[in-house]
Amino acid sequence: MTVRVRYAPSPTGLQHIGGVRTALFNYLFARAQGGAFVLRIEDTDQERYSEEALEDIYATFEWLGIVWDEGPDRGGPYGPYFQSQRLARYHEAVQTLLDAGKAYECFCSAERLAGLRSEGARDGVLGYDRRCRDLTEEQRAAYRAEGVTPVVRLKVPEQGAASFEDMLLGTVKRKYKDLSPDPIILKSDGFPTYHLANVVDDHEMAISHVLRAQEWLSSTPLHILLYEAFGFEPPRYCHLPFVTGKDGQKLSKRHGATSVVEFRKQGYLPEALTNYIALLGWSYDDSREFFALNELERLFSVEKLNKAPAVFDYKKLEWFNGNYIRECSSERLFELMRPYLETAGLLPAGNETREAAIVRNAVPLVQERLKLLSEAPELLKFLLAEITENYAAEELIPKKMDAAAAKALLNAVRPVVAAMEHYDDEQLEAEFRRLAEQHDTKLGNVMMPLRVAITGSRTSPPLIGSLRLLGTERALARIDAAIAKL
C-alpha cells in the first residue's frame, strides 16, 4: 500500500498546537513510510472563512519547515484541494446515496428543528425525529412547490453497529442507535457538511491513513457508515492522544499561548517548537529528547505513540528553546534577535550601524542566558540606551548595608574599572575580590551595586563581559551617575 496522509485544516482561525501536532505526525509518518503528505483546505464553512487564517496555515508550516507534497499552492493529481471548489463532486456523491435509498431530503424548517432540540434537551431524546425519512414523492413535490429548499440526511440504521480497528486504540465499536439520528450531509445552501466532504475527499484523494486527534473519535463510526453506504474501502485510522495542560484539561488559552503565531512572537525557534511538539504523545525511547526534523522523518512510527494524554509543559518548551538558542551560530542569533531589538527601538535598520556592531559583540554574552528571543531587548538595552532612570537608588544597596556603604563600595571600585583595559578577566575579578576583603564584605556585595550601576538591573549578563562591551568611558559615567543617585 502506498501511504498517503493529509492535513485538512479549516481556515477559520490561527493554527494552534493541537492542529500543528496532527500535521506534524502526518508529515513524519508519510516521510518515514516513503509516502505522500497532502494539504487539503476544508473551507465549506463560508461564514467563518478567513483569508488571514488561510495565510496563517501557509506561513506556519513554511516557518516550521513542514512541506506538503500536494496542496492548493503546489497542485497535484487529486485537485482541487479547496473543498469549496469540489461542490459538483459532493452533489454527485449525494445523488448516488439518494438514488440508492441511503439518504433522503428533509424539508423541516429551522424553527421546527430548534423546537426538537429544545424538547430533546428536556426529555433526553437524541437528535432528529426522522419525520421526512419516508415522505412520498408527492409530499416532496408539494414542499418544492412551496419554495422549500431541502437538506439531505443520511439514513442511519436503527439496528446494528459500526466498528473499526484503530492503529492506536484497537477495536472501536459503537451502536447505530447511539449515533445522532440521520445527520445532515448536504446543507440547504448546497455545501456539504464536514462528514460528507471528509469521506468523499479522503476516498477520491486515495488517502490510506487518517491520523487525527481523539476529539474526532466520536465522528468515525458515522464516517465508517458513509464509507459502507458508498461502497468505499475506508482508510486506516489512528486517533492521537489529547494535548492537555498540567491541570489535565484540554489545552486552551487559559493555560497560555496556543497559536503558533503567539509562540513566534515570544521568540521560540521553529526547530525547538517542532522537536517539542513531536514528543507530545510520541517517544523514540525512554531517554532521548533532542531530534532534528530530518531525524524525526526517519525515526517516527505509530508503534511508539502513547495512548495517554500528552501534557504541554511551557517550562519544558522554554528549556528546549534555550538549548536550541545555545546551538545557534553567533550570526544566526544576531539575525534572530534583530527584529525584537528593532521593535523595541534599540537597534536601527542597517547592518553596519554602531549599535549593530555592539549587538554582534554581545551575542556570546547573552547566548547562555536567553530562553526566548523576546528577552533580548531587556538583556541588551543597557548597551544600547541610557539606563540611569531605569532603577531606584535602593537597588544599589546590598542587604544589611546602607546608602553610605554602597556609595563607598562604588567609589572603591571606580579606579579598578578605570584601569580595566590593563587587566584580563581573571585579574579583574581578582581585583574585585581584593576590594571585598579590604571592605570586610562578600564579593557579591561589591559586584551587586556595580552590576546595577552598569546594567540597571540586579540580574544581567556576566558583569565583566558587560563592562568590556560598554567600554571604560561609559562604564565610569554610569558609576558616577549611581554615586550621585545614592
Sort 168 into a burial class: Cβ within 10 Å, 0-12 / 13-18 / 19+. Answer: middle
Q: Is there a catalytic annotation at residue 253?
A: yes
Q: Residue 202 and residue 343: Cα distance in Å, rounded? A: 44
209-213 β-sheet, strand order: 170-175, 161-166, 236-240, 209-213
- DSSP single-letter state for residue 16: B
Sort 379 into a burial class: Cβ within 10 Å, 0-12 / 13-18 / 19+. Answer: buried
| E-strand stretches of 228-307 | 236-240, 243-244
The neighbour count for residue 353, using CB atoms within 10 Å, is: 12
CB-CB contact of 13 with 52 (8 Å)? no
Which entry of 177, 253, 304, 316 is annotated as an active-site residue?
A: 253
CB-CB contact of 317 with 272 (8 Å)? yes
Q: Residue 261 and residue 56: Cα distance in Å, rounded? A: 8
CB-CB contact of 16 with 258 (8 Å)? yes
Residue appearing with cell numbers 484497537: 170
Residues tagged active-site: 253
